[in-house]
């Protein structure tokens, strides 16, 4: 999978810091980094809704994208299965590393055979004149997809808190880790209190969302 931060609000920390400054009549802050960290610590979270982040994500399964699009304070543009042929599309399968080597091998073979068969049936249906939007009904949740995702820092923090946790499903957790690594590079104070969660899958201190 690939997660790329393709654009974001210029100077995101300063943008949020200026918004916070207007609340407290302190618009001339010089150190927006410590200011915004303090504001997040107070739980004054509307101010970080002023920074937006746009990710380009590819190589995730439809099982993963379905979970992602449940996050409502976001905008999505996803590769269409109505208009684009899935004949050449790839697929994602889990590592199944919790199984014994023997069971894992057999399970992966079963999955791959089934998924490949679904693509064969799909292609055959399309060649019989079935519309792509109808032929896709035979495809599986493993079908690879790509999308653009735009969301603000507050919603992104909420996503991270839910999806970096060990209780999240492995694929979206991996996606969340990659998105986190991109976001923290350009706006450390907005996300650095979640670093432990990114690394361990657990939060031992209280954070505001």
Contact track, ligand FAD, 156-175, x by CB under 6 A: --x---x----xx-------
Q: How many angstroms separate the first and last alpha carbons of the chain?
A: 27
Nearest CA to 140 out of 164, 165, 111, 160 is that of 111
Least CB distance to ligand FAD at residue 161 (A) = 9
**Sheet arrangement for strand 74-78:** 2-8, 52-61, 144-152, 74-78
Q: How far apart are CA 11 and CA 5, in angstroms?
A: 14
Name the catalytic one among 163, 173, 198, 204: 163
Query: Strand 74-78 vs strand 144-152: parallel, antiparallel, or unpaired?
Result: antiparallel
Is the distance from CB of 78 to CB of 145 less than 8 angstroms? yes
Q: Using CB under 6 A, which of the segments 8-16, 28-36, 65-73, 109-117 binds ligand FAD?
A: 65-73
Number of residues binding to ligand FAD, judged by CB under 6 A: 9
List the interface residues with ligand FAD, window 67-86 (CB under 6 A): 70-73
Q: Is 205 in the site for ligand FAD (CB under 6 A)?
A: no
Q: Name which of 22 and 69 has its Cβ closer to ligand FAD.
A: 69
Contact residues for ligand FAD, defined by CB under 6 A? 70-73, 155, 158, 162, 167-168
């Amino acid at each position: 999978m690939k997660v790329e931060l393709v654009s974001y609000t210029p100077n995101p920390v300063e943008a949020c810091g200026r918004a916070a400054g207007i609340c407290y009549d302190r618009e001339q802050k010089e150190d927006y980094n410590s200011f915004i960290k303090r504001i997040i610590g107070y739980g004054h979270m509307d101010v970080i809704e002023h920074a937006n982040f746009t990710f380009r994500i590819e190589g995730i399964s439809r099982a993963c994208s379905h979970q992602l699009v449940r996050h409502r304070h976001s905008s999505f543009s996803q590769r269409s299965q109505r208009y684009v042929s899935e004949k050449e599309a790839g697929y994602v399968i889990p590592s199944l590393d919790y199984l014994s080597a023997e069971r894992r091998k057999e399970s992966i073979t079963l999955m791959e055979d089934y998924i490949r068969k679904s693509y064969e049936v799909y292609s055959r249906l399309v060649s019989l004149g079935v519309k792509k939007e109808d032929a896709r009904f035979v495809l599986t949740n493993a079908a690879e997809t790509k999308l653009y995702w735009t969301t603000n820092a507050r919603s992104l923090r909420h996503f991270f808190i839910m999806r970096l946790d060990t209780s999240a499903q492995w694929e979206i957790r991996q996606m969340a880790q990659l998105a986190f690594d991109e976001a923290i590079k350009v706006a450390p104070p907005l996300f650095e209190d979640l670093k432990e969660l990114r690394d361990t899958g657990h939060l031992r201190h209280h954070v505001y969302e």
